[in-house]
Structure 1
Amino acid sequence: AAAMSAAAAVRGLALAALLVLSPATAARQTRRPNVVLILTDDQDVCLGGMTPLRKTNALIARMGVTFVNAYVPSALCCPSRASILTGKYPHNHHVVNNTLEGNCSSKLWQKIQEPYTFPALLKTMCGYQTFFAGKYLNEYGAEDAGGVGHVPPGWSFWYALEKNSKYYNYTLSVNGKARRHGENYSVDYLTDVLANMSLDFLEYKSNFEPFFMMISTPAPHSPWTAAPQYKKSFQNVSAPRNSNFNIHGKNKHWLIRQAKTPMTNSSIQFLDDAYRKRWQTLLSVDDLIEKLVKKLELNGELDNTYIFYTSDNGYHTGQFSLPIDKRQLYEFDIKVPLLVRGPGIKPNQTNKMLVANIDLGPTILDIAGYDLNKTQMDGMSLLPLLTGDKNVTWRSDFLVEYQGEGYNGSDPTCPGLGPGVTHCFPDCVCEDSYNNTYACVRTLSTSWDLQYCEFDDREVFVEVYNLTADPHQINNIAKTIDQEILEKMNYRLMMLQSCSGATCRTPGVFDPGYRFDPRLMFSNHGVRARRFSAQSLKGT
């Protein structure tokens, strides 16, 4: 009898424990899914950028879906990050480059766009607790825009890096208070600090509301400072020598043509070194992903959490003899990794649909149950693609747009090049200029894999690439492609450059529902009626 009563007592205790646990457990099971977004800085996919991330590939890619045609609408940090946060193209969020004048984290951005970012909607409308750690926007923390005391609406927990990516000797805004970090690896190495803050959040957050985390690493952005244990990794690795490496960019915009070919030995040594160091910095991101997934598993939250992994833009190392940078219109700069795992996503899948980072906001709001018709976002929810909906109608094109950075004066290192150039290397190869301002339609349909681009310069220079025949974009076919396709692309580009919300999702040139009226092309001011208007560049 005593044994029976002891067993009954244990059962009673177990039942009592279940009753105590059940509200949180039940809430967790019926709650909206959690979402984690990991955003790396300048990580390419075309040149092997995902190769060093073995754990990330195992824990996210193999457990979910890899989007092999994921792009950014602007191949530069600040405009691209603004597109992620707002779900909008640059002409609609008005962040055109990495400067305050280009609206990067400016007062105007804070007033007009920040209150309507997807994290703000998640927190205020969907009841999510939200956590941000890492690089936000390149000019965040600028004195002229509120300093690090400015905490954007929508964040319950805010650990944001002042200005641009660093690994040591930086300042964080900790919920609006400045915290200075030094150069002691064990307490200051930024990628590891982000990992530790993320684990702390998962340990101490509320268990009664779903959460959204955005972790934005400095890696693999310059200055490419690896953790001490990884400084000797990849000693035999060098930048890929693919078919557009160290060749002259003939028939391209003048900025590409000015690169010196062949590159000097010192330039090649420099870019190989940069490539190797970029990979080394990513090993700490790989460790972060592993710690995060283990913690979610330990908490019993992994099965109800979507994890997105992507980058703000691609990168080049020697393509068309440009040493290192991003911001050009080619695949290596506009294409990024995108891996997703989560509830209802089958493991080990690849998806070939054309997706863009303007889709991340709508997707995450869709996961949270928010009505996307209430937003002004240009992107589309990826949720039907994630869950394998076969009846989904998808886009066949999207817009790429960039406003070049340049100064009226000449670059002090290269006075011979004249005014307007910037980001110049010692051998006077410059990566940008104020008239490196362009817009492209990137098309991926059943019949065409095409890129059509126009430059806003005196030449009104056009570049067109058939990527089926020429995946490395060596041959500009603007002068030989069928004239009707050129006209349709020009018209489509004008449409996309003035699109907003639903009009950004209309059928592309090769879609069955496409409508083309050539008469419209010659209304107003002739064929190229709409460029980046002065108004859209001022951000009014």
Structure 2
Amino acid sequence: MAQDDQDATQNSTHPHYMPNLHEHIRYPGIELNNYFVTTPVCCPSRTNLWRGQFAHNTNFTDVLPPHGGYAKWKELGIDESYLPIWLQSLGYNTYYTGKFLVDYNIRNYNQTPAGWTDIDALVLPYTFDYNNPGFSRNGAPPNTYPGQYSTDVIADKGVAQLESAVASGKPFYAQISPIAPHISTQISIQLPDNTSGKVGGITVSFYPPLPAPRNWELFSDATLPTGTKNGNLYEEDVSDKPAWIQALPLAQQNNRTYLEEIYRLRLRSLAAVDELVGRVVETLNASGVLDNTYIIYSSDNGYHVGTHRFGAGKVLPYEEDLRVPFLIRGPGIKASKSTKPTNTKVGLHVDFAPTILTLAGAGGQLGDKALDGTPLGLAASDDGTLRADYPRPQHHRNQFQAEFWGSWIDELLHHLPGYVNNTWKAVRVYDEERNGWKYIYSCTGSKEIYDLKKDPGELNNMYDTAPMNVRTRLEALLAVLAVCRGDTCTNPWKVLHPGGEVQSWSDAIKSKYDDVYARIKPFKFVACLGYQVGAQRCTLAPSQICMATRRMALAQKPPPNFVVIFTDDQDAIQNTTHPHYMPNLHKHIRYPGIELNNYFVTTPVCCPSRTNLWRGQFAHNTNFTDVLSPHGGYNKWKALGIDKSYLPVWLQGLGYNTYYVGKFLVDYSTANYNRTPAGWTDIDALLTPYIFDYNNPGFSRNGAEPNIYPGQYTTDVVADKGVAQIKSAVASGKPFYAQISPVAPHTSTQFSTDSQGRQQVYFYPPVPAPRHWELFSDATLPSGTKQGNLYEKDVSDKPAWIQALPLAQQNNRTYLEEIYRLRLRSLAAVDELVGRVVETLNASGVLDNTYIIYSADNGYHVGTHRFGAGKTLAYEEELRVPFLIKGPGIKASKSTKATNTKVGLHVDFAPTILTLAGAGGQLGDKGLDGTPLGLAASDDGTLRADYPRPANHRNQFQGEFWGGWADELLHHIPRYVNNTWKAVRVYDEERNQGWKYIYSCTGSKEIYDLKKDPGELNNLYGKGPTYVRTRLEGLLAVLAVCKEDTCINPWKVLHPGGEVQSWSDAIKSKYDDVYARIKPFKFVACLGYQLHENELSDYRVVSPAPTTPSRRLQRRSLVVDTTTVHVPVTFEAPVERFATPVPQDILNSDVHAWYATEQAKYRLA
């Protein structure tokens, strides 16, 4: 239960005012008496709570646009990775009712926040109307409840959601968010009357909070606390406060009388909330789940009434605005049964999400989520801390920062002038022996220090009189905490003292460190802005401190650069990368680096495979499965939002510039070029119909009008543009990622229009550069014993459609040999491009700090089995592609032998790049199916990364394709439409290769022993060992529908107890019965596209949830869809009989514009 604007300093939670809160939560649980928010205004603070990050890291810093607001919240992608999404991935149902964000309104209600099984949220302009609230449920048109009290409506809805949650049988998270004790607003909308000529308008009125009618007479004797503890009510001497506070008038008696009544109205409005507490506990008890439920009570920010020179409001750095209640009861928390403080350690809103996840059994996953918080110590174990496998010590925080950007207004004393320069940062320290210190720094330059043990009311500003060792330490702490990320927010001492000699405030204030702190420049705002910009946050000296908060150390090497040369349709089977054909590739990348000899794509066609590479996901999870529409194509790619969250966007988030030149996607064309892909600092992409025209390429740069290069060879143009981009990247002074994508050795196409205006497309073999036409005239297709599948004669064990293909005759074979030579010749210009790239990097002085990678989007077959030339099949030629890399930390091979035989996939590419870029700890945020490759960047052959998945821990993987097959250059061979398949590939630890199982939508099945039969000539399905078949079918049942970690380690799904970790474990006879009971994966019908209902696996559905939320979750589950799923609510709230739809003409009014206007007027009135 999360309230709105409820403080923890002015007795609003006292048992006299909230008896149910104490009876049902405080006494059976504990209260954290030092619990704080860090941005004391509702929407940024709620985001901190859900995201586990400070506002300077979420970049969501205001209530309304442009630096806040619901559109900004969605634009930042906050609901793509936050607490409800994370809980859904653990099998939880999630529920929400009440106030969500202020700017969730009658114009954007249908853009529902992701992550909620059922969300019934207040919508503006009805959010703060206590007697006429308006809600939208799961994005449906809003209903208002005229004459119904807001908290009572929320209580009815919340109880109904709890009943539905219990009935679902799954664990649940339910957040109930009344608006009390926030001020009330009443908004009257006068619609225009065309008949009378009356002009429409909107009036917004602000009032104190309103109690429920039954509670109006409560607490008539309550008065604002004036005790000695704080003593800051109506402060007379503010001469040591900032000048704008000194200018505020002292409240006169009439103002004081009004503020006393505001205080009573706040208490009265909370009486209905206290009743809600009782109803929630009663419902949980009646449902039999009370003992297994954590109940938490808190608020989004604090509030001041009458303190210092202020009237009523928030957004200030003083205790009243920062301290909020936090009470919790639940499994493992020892009852306090006392009115005394029960837990005096420090807790923050950013600790909320990691605490919930840890209690839900996912403490070991916290490192994935770039959290600034740490689990709270809630006495869930004997030593007073949570039992969790989380790398940060629970509750290790004796200092924290707070921050705000924007203005201050008095919400209810309207005669007080607003103050626009209320942008500040503060640091709060708990000395191990005292209450501690606070340092406040404003953008105007004003500075305050308070000794909170002696002066809890913050009456005596000691900035000029505090001991020098106190002031310098506070300023240094703020220098770190003001820009901290992750662990540095929890323990800034390791930044200031990387040697570890200082671990606490009492260590730091020792005189021997005086010189250290004297050299640290304090944090500084460059100017007073009402919002956050990077230039303000990184103006510290020594400059390493700013870098350290980003990179977790005082001294770091500069981030590495990346250049990726990415060809089109280049296999790794038929010798296309041989040093005879590509000498520069070996001289400049292979010999100074390594080649992964078992590197695969998993969807062997260009556009889905490129998406797998950038997104780090299999095609069954991206849902981008074809080259052209409707199941592929650029419009589909944009509609899926792939370019909102993929590798270049993630790298830009790390401070990288990103560059692209060459082929992007086939369907990026002259019709849609101005819809530029997001995430690229500079993109100069080939366009259809010029994309595969080797001597007439056409490009659009950053969405500008296309330019054609008639008579220019495409790879040479791409090379020129790529070299220019690298030079620009180096000149920028920022780390960079540059991808250069020539079309070679793809087939060429030429377009023409016939006499009737119809477009004709012609397909040809690839075209070499004019200077290369005579190369490799003696090259022939490999026909050695290794593969032995060239022009396969006996295909009787292959699927029926392959059996029906004719064996290539001599004329076809001659043509295929020439196609092979043309492919090699077209790659000669690519090899020259490799040399130019390395030369440019070397001349620019960045070669040694740059990773250079060479790979392709998919493989290709020429003459294998019964095929001519093409791709999209499940055989090795299509799936294996080159992967060569050199760069920092990769030991040179200097050999033609295989240098790395572990398995790598295109889905591993993005996590590998991010890990090398220093962001391994952030991979868990992104829904990745891949894992960093083992690239010998450390002594043990794996990447040094703070990533919870083991690098390159994969000995099995799946492949997949949906659609048809066509021979690209032997046009007499008939097209096959039912080429939809899934496959699983296993590397046995005791054999060089392993097994492959291919299952087609037609029902055909193939198994190959790849050690004995690398050419896939002998189909063993129905002939090989049964234990091999059942294990392969079991693996495919999991991998065909896998997500994230289960794609890397399917054994934990098949054997949740952990007794099987590998193929050699699985094939033991004692597991025969286990695998015999597993239903194989099945296609219902042959569709040329992905449809979940058409792909049956018992591992797509989450298994029943555990009964004890504090234990680690172990379930035989695979796929948890982390998009919003709305399920029927079993119990409807009685209040729904009062629901009244909002009229359409009101819905059409521009609520966003008028509310922002009125709020702006109100703030500056």
Q: Where does 1:356-435 land on structure 2 (aligned, <5 Å)?
A: 356-370=905-919, 371-382=922-933, 385-390=936-941, 394-405=953-964, 422-423=966-967, 428-430=972-974, 432-435=975-978
Which residue does the alignment assign to 2:588?
59
Q: 1:39 to 1:390 in 2, by over 3 A?
A: closer
SS in 2 for 1:119: helix
Q: 1:114 Cα deviation (Å)?
A: 1.7
Instruction: Determine the C-alpha separation between the residues in 2 that align with 1:519 and 1:287.
Output: 55
Which residue does the alignment assign to 1:176?
703
Q: 1:375 to 1:536 in 2, by over 3 A?
A: farther
Q: 1:238 Cα deviation (Å)?
A: 2.2
Equivalent residues of 1:44, 1:336 under 8 A apart:
yes
Equivalent residues of 1:452, 1:462 under 8 A apart:
yes
Instruction: Determine the C-alpha separation between the residues in 2 that align with 1:513 and 1:115.
Output: 41
Q: 1:284 to 1:257 in 2, by over 3 A?
A: same
Q: Where does 1:299-310 land on structure 2 (aligned, <5 Å)?
A: 299-310=844-855
Equivalent residues of 1:91, 1:536 under 8 A apart:
no
Equivalent residues of 1:496, 1:504 under 8 A apart:
yes
2:663 alignment partner AA: K
Select the residue among 160, 168, 186 that pairs with 2:685.
160
Which residue does the alignment assign to 1:236?
778
SS in 2 for 1:348: coil
Select the residue among 217, 220, 225 that pairs with 2:767.
225
Instruction: Determine the C-alpha separation between the residues in 2 that align with 1:62 and 1:390.
Output: 17
Of stretches 343-352 and 248-257 in structure 1, the one that deviates more from structure 2 is 248-257
1:209 equivalent to 2:734? Answer yes
Q: 1:537 to 1:194 in 2, by over 3 A?
A: farther
SS in 1 for 2:695: coil
Equivalent residues of 2:962, 2:1090 under 8 A apart:
no
Select the residue among 258, 271, 279 that pairs with 2:804.
258
Q: Where does 1:481-500 land on structure 2 (aligned, <5 Å)?
A: 481-500=1024-1043
Equivalent residues of 1:404, 1:433 under 8 A apart:
no
Instruction: Determine the C-alpha separation between the residues in 2 that align with 1:160 and 1:331.
Output: 30
Q: 1:316 Cα deviation (Å)?
A: 1.2
1:114 equivalent to 2:643? Answer yes
Instruction: Determine the C-alpha separation between the residues in 2 that align with 1:456 and 1:518.
Output: 27
Of stretches 245-254 and 224-233 in structure 1, the one that deviates more from structure 2 is 245-254
Instruction: Determine the C-alpha separation between the residues in 2 that align with 1:204 and 1:390.
Output: 34
Q: Write the deviation string for residues 290-313 of structure 1: whole angstroms up to 9, x where unpaired.
A: 011011011110000001100111
Q: Write the deviation string for residues 152-203 of structure 1: whole angstroms up to 9, x where unpaired.
A: 111000111113433222321111013232432xxx2111111111221222
Instruction: Determine the C-alpha separation between the residues in 1 that align with 2:608 and 2:638.
Output: 11
SS in 2 for 1:354: strand
Which residue does the alignment assign to 1:137?
665
1:198 equivalent to 2:719? Answer no
Equivalent residues of 1:443, 1:450 under 8 A apart:
yes
Q: 1:153 to 1:514 in 2, by over 3 A?
A: farther
SS in 1 for 2:986: strand
Q: 1:440 Cα deviation (Å)?
A: 0.7
1:338 equivalent to 2:889? Answer no
1:321 equivalent to 2:866? Answer yes
Equivalent residues of 1:439, 1:455 under 8 A apart:
yes
1:394 alignment partner AA: H
Instruction: Determine the C-alpha separation between the residues in 2 that align with 1:297 and 1:530.
Output: 52
Q: 1:109 Cα deviation (Å)?
A: 4.3
Instruction: Determine the C-alpha separation between the residues in 2 that align with 1:536 and 1:501.
Output: 21
1:82 equivalent to 2:624? Answer no
1:126 equivalent to 2:639? Answer no
Q: 1:533 Cα deviation (Å)?
A: 5.6
1:315 alignment partner AA: Y
1:333 alignment partner AA: E
Q: 1:265 Cα deviation (Å)?
A: 2.2
Equivalent residues of 1:438, 1:456 under 8 A apart:
yes
2:976 alignment partner AA: S
Q: 1:252 Cα deviation (Å)?
A: 0.9
Q: 1:388 to 1:37 in 2, by over 3 A?
A: farther
Of stretches 191-200 and 28-37 in structure 1, the one that deviates more from structure 2 is 28-37
Q: Write the deviation string for residues 396-429 of structure 1: whole angstroms up to 9, x where unpaired.
A: 0111101122xxxxxxxxxxxxxxx744766632
Unaligned runs of 5+ in 2: 1-542, 548-554, 749-765, 943-950, 1052-1060, 1096-1122, 1124-1165
Q: Write the deviation string for residues 87-139 of structure 1: whole angstroms up to 9, x where unpaired.
A: 1111011122222222232335444322111111111x111000000111121
Q: 1:254 Cα deviation (Å)?
A: 2.4
Q: 1:506 Cα deviation (Å)?
A: 1.0
1:486 alignment partner AA: R
Q: 1:271 Cα deviation (Å)?
A: 0.9
Which residue does the alignment assign to 1:462?
1005
Q: 1:537 Cα deviation (Å)?
A: 8.4
Of stretches 328-337 and 500-509 in structure 1, the one that deviates more from structure 2 is 500-509
Equivalent residues of 1:366, 1:383 under 8 A apart:
no
Instruction: Determine the C-alpha separation between the residues in 1 that align with 2:924 and 2:1072.
Output: 29
Equivalent residues of 2:634, 2:668 under 8 A apart:
yes
1:306 alignment partner AA: Y
1:479 alignment partner AA: G
Equivalent residues of 2:1007, 2:1019 under 8 A apart:
yes
Which residue does the alignment assign to 2:675?
150
1:241 alignment partner AA: S
Q: 1:137 to 1:109 in 2, by over 3 A?
A: same
Instruction: Determine the C-alpha separation between the residues in 2 that align with 1:331 and 1:165.
Output: 25
Q: Write the deviation string for residues 288-346 of structure 1: whole angstroms up to 9, x where unpaired.
A: 11011011011110000001100111111111121111111111111011000000001
For the aligned residue pairs, the C-alpha RMSD in angstroms reads 2.7
Instruction: Determine the C-alpha separation between the residues in 2 that align with 1:464 and 1:169.
Output: 45
Instruction: Determine the C-alpha separation between the residues in 1 that align with 2:934 and 2:928.
Output: 15
1:33 equivalent to 2:33? Answer no
1:44 equivalent to 2:571? Answer yes
2:953 alignment partner AA: W
1:528 equivalent to 2:1084? Answer no
Equivalent residues of 2:624, 2:637 under 8 A apart:
no
Q: 1:529 Cα deviation (Å)?
A: 4.8
Of stretches 351-360 and 197-206 in structure 1, the one that deviates more from structure 2 is 197-206
Instruction: Determine the C-alpha separation between the residues in 2 that align with 1:98 and 1:475.
Output: 32
Q: 1:210 to 1:182 in 2, by over 3 A?
A: closer
Q: 1:95 to 1:537 in 2, by over 3 A?
A: farther
Give TM-score, length-normalised by structure 1.
0.84
Which residue does the alignment assign to 2:286?
none
1:100 equivalent to 2:611? Answer no
1:450 equivalent to 2:995? Answer yes
Q: 1:299 to 1:437 in 2, by over 3 A?
A: same
Unaligned runs of 5+ in 1: 1-22, 406-420
Instruction: Determine the C-alpha separation between the residues in 1 that align with 2:842 and 2:969.
Output: 47
Q: 1:514 to 1:54 in 2, by over 3 A?
A: same
1:375 alignment partner AA: K
Which residue does the alignment assign to 2:489?
none
SS in 2 for 1:241: coil
Q: Write the deviation string for residues 225-276 of structure 1: whole angstroms up to 9, x where unpaired.
A: 1111101111122222342111233311223222211x12221122111111
Query: Which structure shows the higher helix fraction?
Result: 1
SS in 1 for 2:577: coil
Q: 1:462 Cα deviation (Å)?
A: 0.5
